[in-house]
Chain A
Amino acid sequence: MAEEKLPSKTQVPASAESQKARQKKAPEFPILEKQNWLIHLHYIRKDYEACKAVIKEQLQETQGLCEYAIYVQALIFRLEGNIQESLELFQTCAILSPQCADNLKQVARSLFLLGKHKAATEVYNEAAKLNQKDWEICHNLGVCYIYLKQFNKAQDHLHSALQLNRHDLTYIMLGKIHLLEGDLHKAIEIYKKAVEFSPENTELLTTLGLLYLQLGVYQKAFEHLGNALTYDPTNYKAILAAGSMMQTHGDFDVALTKYRVVACAVPESPPLWNNIGMCFFGKKKYVAAISCLKRANYLAPFDWKILYNLGLVHLTMQQYASAFHFLSAAINFQPKLGELYMLLAVALTNLEDIENAKRAYAEAVRLDKYKMVEMAQKLGAALQVGEALVWTKPVKDPKSKHRTTSAGKPATLGSNQALGQAMSSAAAFRKLPSGAAGAQLQKPPSLPLEPEPTVEASPAEASGKMREK
């Protein structure tokens, strides 16, 4: 054996030389894939400049026949935002090797990014013919159908993707479909399965927690949010949600400490400053509350919840003229909420604009009859006590109490941008009954699920406090 090899060992450099020589004589064809590995290594370590240089060299040598070089060039184009160019290159790849599902997948992906969802589904279907069992194709088809608003088809594809291989992303998309359809319970089912599959994914945990929060299942919500925070103590969505739950329990100091982490991570988050503002409000530091809320309002001038809270705090501060402005701005953005008109009516009453106050009350009744009746019952005691003079003040006070709690809530909702939209309308109303336990804000923490007794006590206590001011 060894003898055989001896002559060959001298050949190593020699053969390399002779190879080169031959190349010059007759046009020997270079191996197309010669530097694919190098292109790939540069690509995955995100050294795109080096990658492009190798691609250029490779394409020159092979006269544009090296498919992988074109493929990676297209990927880089896409990363750089030149989606149209990337699409064209991927199409070239698909021509060079029509049997390859991967090229079609990338063509479809580029189409998807260009917003041509219909075309993308067609290409994905084409690719699915070449490769039946690809998780990615099924998943992406599902996502395309979501954008095309064909939720049933989307669900089918996502479920088949899950059968091929389970990925967190597929669960998230499925959950999103259910949320878009407004089916909270189904969404929760999906997220539960997802959390079972990957128990450490903080995004899944947070979303599940928020969904429970929306349903009013506080125990479970807190459990999941807490889990999310153990795995990632800086997850700001979870912190905001957990913080707002603490706020409803009156733990303002704990909530504020938690918010510090968020303030470091996302200092320009409107829901964060809104929640901080309402914490200060709960602690009766009204000036701080106003400055935080104003910052929130500066960051998100079109968010009616922040305007609502601002109106509320200004009412408490007896700055009725300012309160009127914030409330009327809020009503401009959200004209369908009875509570806003109630607050506005309170402000107008105090501004001695009885005519308009009446109209605001009438509007509130029209929008929200049930709540007005409820409110009137609660006010009964206070109303009987007072004479004409007392009348005007108590009215606004209890109202503001209710605001306080509900104010904390919208903040919660706002905290998760993704879910916020879907949740907001449902939650704003839902929260009020438990929110009516708002008296807790002033009282030491009590359970949120038994609002009635505390509510009875609250108006009197509240109005007393107001008069002190």
Chain B
Amino acid sequence: MAAASSSDSDSGRAESSEASSKWLDAHYDPMANIHTFSSCLALADLHGDGEYKLVVGDLGPGGQQPRLKVLKGPTMLTESPLPALPASAATFLMEQHEPRTPALALASGPCVYVYKNLRPYFKFSLPQLPPNPLEQDLWNQAKEDQIDPLTLKEMLEGIREKAEVPLSVQSLRFLQLELSEMEAFVNQHKSRAIKRQTVITTMTTLKKNLADEDAVSCLVLGTENKELLVLDPEAFTILAKMSLPSVPVFLEVSGQFDVEFRLTAACRNGNIYILRRDSKHPKYCIELSAQPVGLVRVHKILVVGSNQDSLHGFTHKGKKLWTVQMPAAILTMNLLEQRSRGLQAVMAALANGEVHIYRDKTLLNVIHTPDAVTSLCFGRYGREDNTLIMTTRGGGLIIKILKRTAVFVEGTGEVGPPLAQATKLSVPRKTRLYVDQTLREREAGIAMHRTFQTDLYLLRLRASRAYVQALESSLSPMSTTTREPLKLHAVVQGLGPTFKLTLHLQNTSTARPVLGLQVCFLYNEALYALPRAFFKVPLLVPGLSYPLETFVESLSRKGISDIIKVLVLREGQSAPLLSAHINMPVSEGLAAA
């Protein structure tokens, strides 16, 4: 022990640059290829040799190749394929016999696979759920051909609408079918008993009757069927069954099964339910109004991370104690227990690549990681008591060891005014010119004001005049006369020397078509050539926009552009109904040549 502590202090001196950090970097492998959740990580002395191994229920890249991996130190000890994706991994002691090596349980689909000494030992399957009796009756009738597929379908639909017990997959699939396929489906499947199977969503362990660290534990399973099951550690029979209002996602337990225990289940409806030994239904309920992303019990306080980037503390009766906002989304959470100093804290891995460690609402430590951590656990690994194991989004593995000298001190975080208070305000500067202008305004303010007012009036006058003139000479592209309400706009396309000029003429009246209109172009004939400078417009149906196209050839080789005037006239009248001035672009084709 003395040797160990001295070597530790040596390493402390050697890494003086990292002296401020409480962690030693033991191992980092960005290519470890481990993709998993915190619930699928477990640390246990699997061989009873005092050397703790890491068990990983690995989902594989993209959730494709589920594997059971066992790591010893930084190296992979064994790796074996799994039949389905693991939902949860746990280690527990099954019986009192020596040697006391823990068994490993992997929950996957509807089964729990139990391994001893890393060899398959037992497979527990969830019992079949009772099928709906009405549905059963219907299929029995179908079997004896007493009922035709159509009636079967109607009856099944009736059950689906009302029944408490949901239909089996077989019936649901049948309801999806087309009329023609039904017959065959019924013939194929009618002889089979209908089944309803559920799957395990989460798993944890609960001490059987002793509180000791190495006491026998029961498995606690949460199922998709909104139930919690407690299994006997030896016979794998169901000792207790409790129902929840929603599907459990995370479980947290305390106490012993035979004495008194408390089960906390965070569920998919965003609520957290607390159950006790003698209750078949939840005793307390915490409504989060967000999805829980992690559930950790620290002493008597439940710490819940929500997907709204916050950490909440609740009493074991569901009363809210505190809330802390996180700088980023929480990805996963777990308990940090430093037994030698009696410290329990919560680790929360955040999406910004940090791991925050909290005791109650005070931040104890922040670990920066090269990639976002997606699963983590803390405990004895190898022969080192306080090891933190993290896997990252990219499949990397990080192992850190807490220095034996490290003490987490509260209040190292922010106290007093926030940092931002020290930064200076960036008040915009004013120039010398501004000051001069100010002085000038003071001297000649009255004159400036008067000049400005005079100019403003003149501007307004000019604008009104131009407006009146435009109205009088129908220069606007909108005709407001009641007889011919028209709208015109023009588009010029092309780079030149030939342009395409499109006029969009619209009759904006509600009901009356317009007939007998003509379009005339006025332009400088030295500059432009149009195939037709004058043409008739077809009947204009109200509301539709009529595109009238014509080509314009630019004749000038000097890059000059001019205005083309478009006049819309009524037959037999000299005053135009409306007009538009089109600013022709410079012919780029010529300019380039």
Which A residues fall within an 8 A CB radius of B? Answer: 1, 5, 8-13, 15-16, 19-20, 27, 29-38, 40-41, 43-47, 50, 53-54, 62-65, 97-99, 102, 135-136, 165, 167, 169, 198, 200-201, 233-234, 256-261, 263-265, 276, 280, 287-288, 290-292, 294-295, 317-322, 324, 350-353
Q: B445 contacts A31, CB within 8 Å?
A: no
Interface centre among B268, B331, B450 (most CB of A within 10 A): B268
Q: Are B123 and A15 interface neighbours, CB within 8 A?
A: yes
Alpha-carbon separation in the docked complex, A37 to B110 (Å): 12
A256 CA / B172 CA spacing, docked (Å): 67
B448 CB within 8 Å of chain A: yes
Decide: A13 and B247 in contact? CB cutoff 8 A.
no
Cα–Cα, bound, A319→B417 (Å): 39
**Chain B residues in 8 Å Cβ range of A321:** 441, 445-446, 448-449, 452
**30 A–B contact pairs at CB < 8 A?**
A1-B234, A1-B235, A9-B119, A10-B120, A12-B121, A13-B83, A30-B169, A31-B169, A33-B224, A34-B109, A36-B199, A36-B201, A37-B201, A37-B249, A38-B87, A45-B330, A50-B63, A54-B63, A62-B169, A63-B173, A97-B160, A99-B162, A99-B164, A258-B421, A260-B422, A263-B425, A287-B435, A319-B445, A321-B445, A351-B446
Complex Cα gap A294–B563 (Å): 43
CB-CB nearest in chain B for A97: B166
CA distance A276 to B434 in the complex (A): 20
* Chain A residues in 8 Å Cβ range of B176: 63-65
Minimum CB–CB distance for A320 against chain B, Å = 5
Contact: A11 with B293, CB < 8 Å?
no
Are B425 and A46 within 8 A (Cβ)?
no
Question: Are B249 and A9 in contact, with the CB atoms below 8 A?
Answer: no
**B420 within 8 A of partner (CB):** yes
Residues of chain A contacted by B393 (CB below 8 angstroms):
47
**Quick check: A136 and B289 within 8 Å, CB to CB?**
yes
B299 at the interface (CB under 8 A from A): no
Are B121 and A350 interface neighbours, CB within 8 A?
A: no
Which residues of chain B have C-beta atoms less than 8 A from A99's C-beta?
161-164
Asked if B172 and A65 make an inter-chain contact with CB atoms under 8 angstroms apart, the answer reads: yes
Q: Contact partner of A44 among B161, B292, B424, B449, CB < 8 A?
A: B292
| The 6 A-B residue pairs with the shortest CB-CB distance in the complex, in nearest-first order | A264-B420, A16-B83, A12-B120, A29-B169, A37-B201, A291-B428
Instruction: Give complex CA distance A287, B431 in Å.
Output: 10
Contact A5 B121 (CB under 8 A): yes
Q: How far, in angstroms, from A33 to B223 measured CA to CA in the complex?
A: 10
Q: Which residues of A contact B268 (CB under 8 A)?
A: 40
Q: B234 contacts which chain A residues (CB < 8 A)?
A: 1
Complex: chain B residue closest to A325, CB-CB = B452
Report the Cα distance A111→B192, complex, angstroms: 43
With beta carbons under 8 angstroms apart, the residue of B119, B202, B322, B434 that contacts A37 is B202
Taking the closest CB of chain A, its distance from the CB of B223, in whole angstroms, is 9
Q: Which of B324-366 contact A (CB under 8 A)?
A: 329-332, 351
Q: Any chain A CB within 8 A of the CB of B17?
A: no
Inter-chain contact A294/B109, CB cutoff 8 Å: no
Q: Is the CB of A200 within 8 A of B169?
A: no
Chain A CB count within 10 A is highest, among B63, B163, B234, B331, for B63
Residues of chain B contacted by A256 (CB below 8 angstroms): 425
Instruction: Please measure, in the bound complex, the distance between the C-alpha atom of A15 and the C-alpha atom of B564, giving whole angstroms.
Output: 87
Q: Which chain A residues lie closer than 8 Å to B374 at the CB level?
A: 45
Q: Which residue of B lies closest to A257 (CB)?
A: B421
Residue of A31, A169, A198, A259 near B198 (CB, 8 A) is A31
Contact A32–B169 (Cβ < 8 Å) = yes
Whether A264 and B423, one on each chain, are in contact in the complex, defined by CB atoms closer than 8 angstroms, is yes
Q: Is the Cβ of B307 less than 8 Å from the Cβ of A320?
A: no
Q: Which residues of B lie under 8 Å from residue A63 when comparing CB positions? A: 173, 176
Instruction: Please indicate the chain A residues that have their CB under 8 angstroms from the CB of B198 in the complex.
Output: 31, 33
How many angstroms from the CA of A294 to the CA of B430 in the assembled complex? 11
Cα of A280 to Cα of B430 in the assembled complex, Å: 14
Q: A322 is contacted by which of B172, B199, B224, B441 (Cβ under 8 Å)? A: B441
Q: Are A45 and B120 in contact (CB under 8 A)?
A: no
Interface positions of B from 383 to 435, Cβ below 8 Å from A: 393, 414, 417-418, 420-430, 434-435
- A317–B428 CA distance with the chains assembled, in angstroms: 18
A31-B109, A34-B109 known; A13+B425 contact, CB < 8 A: no
Interface of A is mostly: helix
Interface size grouping (class) on chain B = 35 or more
Are B428 and A295 in contact, with the CB atoms below 8 A? Answer: yes
CB distance from A249 to the nearest CB of B (A): 19
Q: Which chain A positions have C-beta within 8 A of B438? A: 317, 319
Cβ-defined contact, A13 with B120, below 8 A: yes
Cβ-defined contact, B123 with A12, below 8 A: yes
Instruction: Give Cα distance in the complex from A9 to B160, angstroms.
Output: 40
Residues of B with C-beta under 8 A to A201: 323
Of the candidates A35, A62, A135, the one having the most CB atoms from chain B within 10 angstroms of its own CB is A35
A324 to B446, CA, bound (A): 11
Contact A45 B331 (CB under 8 A): yes
B121 and A9 contact, CB distance less than 8 A: yes
- Which A residues are in CB contact (< 8 Å) with B450? 351
Residues of B within 8 A of A102 (CB): 269
Tell whether A352 pairs with B166 under 8 Å between CB atoms, given A44-B292, A257-B421. Answer: no
**Distance between Cα atoms of A160 and B450 in the complex (Å):** 65
Give A320 to B164 CA distance when docked, in angstroms: 79
Most interface-central of B83, B198, B329, B434 (chain A CB within 10 A): B83
User: Is B169's CB under 8 angstroms from A46's CB?
Assistant: no
Residues on B with beta carbons closer than 8 Å to the beta carbon of A65 = 169, 172-173, 176
- Best-buried of B109, B420, B425 by chain A (most CB within 10 Å): B425
Given the complex of chains A and B, what is the CA–CA distance between A322 and B393 in angstroms?
Answer: 59
Please determine whether B63 and A45 come into contact, CB atoms closer than 8 angstroms: no
- Chain A residues with Cβ below 8 Å from B323 are 200-201
The one of A37, A165, A234, A350 in contact with B287, judged by C-beta atoms closer than 8 angstroms, is A165
| Bound Cα distance from A226 to B449, whole angstroms | 47
Q: Are A167 and B425 in contact (CB under 8 A)?
A: no
- List chain B residues, Cβ under 8 A from A15: 123
B253 at the interface (CB under 8 A from A): no
- Nearest chain B CB to A303's CB is how many angstroms away? 18
Asked whether A31 and B173 contact (CB < 8 A) given A12-B122, A165-B287, the answer is no
Known A-B contacts A31-B110, A319-B442; the reply to A260 vs B120 at CB < 8 A is no
What sequence of 0s and 1s flags, for each residue 51-64 of chain B, a beta carbon within 8 Å of any chain A beta carbon?
00000000100110
Inter-chain pairs besides A9-B122, A351-B450, 10 sampled, C-beta below 8 Å: A27-B188, A37-B202, A45-B307, A136-B289, A263-B420, A264-B423, A317-B438, A319-B441, A351-B445, A351-B449
Complex contacts, A257 vs chain B, CB 8 Å: 421
A350: which of B170, B199, B417, B445 is its contact (CB, 8 Å)? Answer: B445
| Contact status B169-A37, CB under 8 Å | no
The residue of chain B having its C-beta at the shortest distance from the C-beta of A30 within the complex is B169
Structural contact, B445 and A320, CB atoms closer than 8 A: yes
| Cα of A62 to Cα of B121 in the assembled complex, Å | 32
List, in ascending order, chain A residues with CB within 8 A of B423's CB: 260, 263-264
Question: Which residues from chain A contact B169 at a C-beta distance below 8 Å?
Answer: 29-32, 62, 65
Do residues B427 and A292 form an inter-chain contact, with CB atoms below 8 A? yes
A95 to chain B, nearest CB (A): 9
Kindly identify, within residues 158 to 186 of chain B, every residue whose CB is under 8 Å from any CB belonging to chain A: 160-164, 166, 168-170, 172-173, 176
Residues of chain B with a CB closer than 8 A to A50's CB: 62-63
CA distance A264 to B563 in the complex (A): 54
Q: Which B-chain residue is minimally distant from A131 (CB atoms)? A: B245
- Does B113 make an interface contact (CB < 8 A)? yes
CA distance A54 to B452 in the complex (A): 69
* B88 shortest CB reach to chain A, Å: 9
- Contacting pair B418 A233 (CB below 8 A): yes
Q: Which residues of chain B have C-beta atoms less than 8 A from A324's C-beta?
A: 449
Is B273 located at the chain interface by the 8 A CB criterion?
A: no
Q: What residues of B have a CB within 8 angstroms of the CB of A352 in the complex? A: 446
Is A276 a contact of B120 with CB atoms below 8 Å? no
Contact B427 A291 (CB under 8 A): yes
Cα distance A460–B110 in the bound complex, in angstroms: 89
Q: How far is the CB of A235 from chain B (nearest CB, A)?
A: 10
In the bound complex, do residue B418 and residue A29 qualify as a contact, i.e. CB atoms below 8 Å apart?
no
Smallest beta-carbon distance A200→chain B, Å: 7
